[in-house]
Amino acid sequence: MNRLINNIFEASGKQVILTTHNPLVASRLDLRNVFVLTNSSDRPATLSGVSEDVAQYFMKAPGSSLLEFILSTKTILVEGAAEYILMEAFFHKVTGKHTSEMGTQVISVNGTGFKNYIHIAKIIGSKVVAIRDNDGSYAENIEENYKGLLGDKVGVFADKDGVRSTFEICIYQDNKSLCDELFKADRRTLSVQNYMLGNKTEAAYEILSKKITDISVPEYIVDAVKWLNS
């Protein structure tokens, strides 16, 4: 597939038209060349207005979630694997329904590259909410960082308390007894909170497997889910 993409990308002197359902093909050949066909419109949406920076991001990033994002009418973007593991269960606790019932996709951006997805969402008209850490400063990392990007179809939610700077800290502080019960045994050198910060994926899976019915969903995630479905 990569050899095919390289051959097409390096072709000159001719016009090449491809149809594909493969997000790797679409992203590697530059999103600015892509026309998207969806059920939400009888006309294809062109991504020619995507900036060079956004196009370059998706050329280099894993492309497996791009098609899901483009074809979804509602999307929850999260930072990493831990949030992704728990988000479906959190969504169900808030709405009483599964994401699939509500036409919603959950996508991990594997970092904080939310703006790249937001720019595409603005072009294709889908509704998207980013759920992220405040990384110690809500004012700087949320309010200032996304100024001018938010609107009726774009929302960014994080805990407003700088002390509650990450997903794991919020989960622990809202569920201390539950997390202590799960993780305190044999934690001789690390606090439970620090263990969760150092073992994010494992901790999320343990919560999902053993305590998900008892977990309290952090308020900013509740707000994000309700906003997306409003």
Percentage of the chain exceeding pLDDT 90? 65
Which amino acid does the sequence have at 200?
K
- Alpha carbons 179 and 129: distance in angstroms, whole number: 27
Averaged pLDDT score across all residues of the chain: 91
- Alpha carbons 50 and 152: distance in angstroms, whole number: 20
pLDDT band, very low/low/confident/very high, at 20 (cuts 50, 70, 90)? confident
CB 66 within 8 A of CB 23: yes
Backbone angles phi, psi at 138, to 5 degrees: -65, -40
Quick one: average pLDDT of 103-121? 93
Backbone angles phi, psi at 9, to 5 degrees: -65, -35
Tell me what pLDDT residue 15 has. Answer: 85
Percentage of the chain exceeding pLDDT 70? 97
Q: Estimate to the nearest angstrom the gap between the alpha carbon of 155 and the chain centroid.
A: 12
Q: What is the pLDDT of residues 41-60, one digit of tens each?
A: 678 888 999 999 999 988 88
The CA R_g of the chain, rounded to the nearest whole Å, is: 20
Three-class secondary structure assignment of the chain? CHHHHHHHHCCCCCCCCCCCCCHHHHHHCCHHHCEECCCCCCCCEECCCCCHHHHHHHHHCCCCCHHHHHHCCEEEEECCHHHHHHHHHHHHHHHCCCHHHHCEEEEECCCCCHHHHHHHHHHHCCEEEEECCCCCCHHHHHHHCCCCCCCCCEEEECCCCCCCCCHHHHHHHHCHHHHHHHHCCCCCCCCHHHHHHHCHHHHHHHHHHHCCCCCCCCHHHHHHHHHHCC
pTM of the model: 0.90
* Residue with the two structure tokens 């969402």: 121
- Alpha carbons 88 and 205: distance in angstroms, whole number: 12
Pairing between β-strand 104-108 and β-strand 45-46 as defined by DSSP bridges: unpaired
Q: For residue 107, what are the β-bridge partners?
A: 77
- Alpha carbons 116 and 1: distance in angstroms, whole number: 24
Which amino acid does the sequence have at 89?
A
Q: Estimate to the nearest angstrom the gap between the alpha carbon of 78 and the chain centroid.
A: 3
pLDDT band, very low/low/confident/very high, at 213 (cuts 50, 70, 90)? very high
